[in-house]
Amino acid sequence: MAALFFCCLTFTAQASRTVTDQLGRQVTIPDQVDRVVVLQHQTLNLLVQMHAGNKIVGVLANWKQQLGENYLRLAPFLANTPGLGDLTHVDTEKLVALHPQVVFVTNYAPAAMIDSITQLGIPVVAISLRHDATPTDASRLNPTLANDEQAYDQGLREGITLIGEIVNHQADARALNEAAFAYRKEVASRLKDIPASEKVRAYMANPDLTTYGSGKYTGLMMSRAGAVNVAASTVKGYKQVSMEQVINWDPQVIFVQARYPQVVSDITHSPQWQVIDAVKHHRVYLMPEYAKAWGYPMPEAVGLGELWMAKKLYPQRFSDIDINKEVNRWYLRFYGTHYQGEH
């Protein structure tokens, strides 16, 4: 009770302001926010790139599972930051003890979880990185989107801006948005004259023959890079398909997310995959770490991942682009260190 009283007293004694989160909720927060708990890995990554890691006093306990073991190199402070929940639950006793001024959660966090934190007198801000038509859509993990591109582009800009505003890092948020969309504009310019009939057919391979179709950023990422996602017209969101279906699609390129390297080996060594064009021509690519496809767009995926992917699909159009140079420039600017993974 003493900890709860302290938390509430600290908040009410400060000047406040009201923000609108990505569920459309009006949330009153202190003017100056210096202590946040982050229960969503996308927001955690964005705060790190905005150089606001020093404001994080608690994180989701499974951040390594979500962001990878190597992420500690980019955010060393996480080694000593308390973990107290995940995307769908939180230990309120541990939360109160950290005296946060704001708690960031995902848009599909259970209403009961948001209510339990709010009842402690702690402001809760939901982040979706998507611009949805209705509050019902906004709270869904797999919404029906009238326009995928608009929903994710606008939602990413709005989410980054909102997070930057909350932690008083508006200039860093602006820089992140500008960098991501400047690279995207360059990619679009180089691909604009490719006829639809000549676009490369691509497939995103996950374990157990699961893939991404329409309504997910991973599929949109392929489209932005100039590919035709072969699953887009058949698959809504994320689902398992049959080997017969993949053979029928006969993709010219296969992409595999960095977290699933075994899938590349499975595909290249399995007899049933050998009839597919991408395998025949050795165009099965493991995506680099910076092309983080987490279902939501992230700045480096928009800025660097789509560029990397476009260069793989149309190498002649990007022959002058040194991916290593561009990636290191990004990492030095937003993470303060060189990129050390595979390009």
pLDDT in tens, 191-201: 999 999 999 99
pLDDT in tens, 85-135: 999 999 999 999 999 999 999 999 999 999 999 999 999 999 999 887 677
Does residue 312 have a pLDDT over 90?
yes
Query: Cα(15)–Cα(101) distance, rounded to whole angstroms?
Result: 12
Q: What is the mean pLDDT of residues 240-257?
A: 97
pLDDT band at 10 (very low <50, low <70, confident <90, very high): very low
**Of 202, 21, 28, residue with least CA distance to 104:** 21
Structure letter (DSSP) for residue 80? G
pLDDT band at 218 (very low <50, low <70, confident <90, very high): confident
Does residue 335 have a pLDDT over 80?
yes
Domain boundaries along the sequence of the chain: 2-168, 193-334
Q: What is the mean pLDDT of residues 255-264?
A: 93
pLDDT in tens, 156-173: 999 999 999 999 999 999
Long-range contacts of 316-323 (CB under 8 A, 24+ apart): 317/190, 317/191, 318/190
Query: What is the structure's pLDDT at 6?
Result: 47
Does residue 287 have a pLDDT over 80?
yes
Q: Which two tokens stand for residue 157?
A: 């800009």
Tokens 């990878």 -> residue = 68
Q: Classify domain 193-334 by CATH number.
A: 3.40.50.1980
Report whether 211 contacts 205 (CB < 8 A). Answer: yes
Chain-wide mean pLDDT for the chain?
91
Report whether 46 contacts 174 (CB < 8 A). Answer: no
pLDDT band at 343 (very low <50, low <70, confident <90, very high): low
Query: Cα(240)–Cα(207) distance, rounded to whole angstroms?
Result: 9
User: Which of the residue ranges 188-192, 257-261, 312-316 would you say has the lowest mean pLDDT?
Assistant: 257-261
> In sequence order, what are the residues at sequence separation of 6 or more whose Cβ sits closer than 8 angstroms to the Cβ of residue 185?
none
Fold match flag (2-168 vs 193-334)? yes
**CATH class of the domain at 2-168:** alpha beta
Q: What is the mean pLDDT of residues 297-321?
A: 95
Q: What is the mean pLDDT of residues 50-77?
A: 94
Quote the Cα angle for 151-155-156, to 5°: 120
Burial of 47 (C-beta count, 10 Å sphere; 0-12/13-18/19+): buried
Phi-psi region of 330 (alpha: psi -120 to 50; beta: other; left: phi over 0): alpha
Partnered with residue 19 across adjacent β-strands are 27
In this structure, are strands 36-38 and 56-59 parallel, antiparallel, or unpaired?
parallel
pTM of the predicted protein model: 0.88
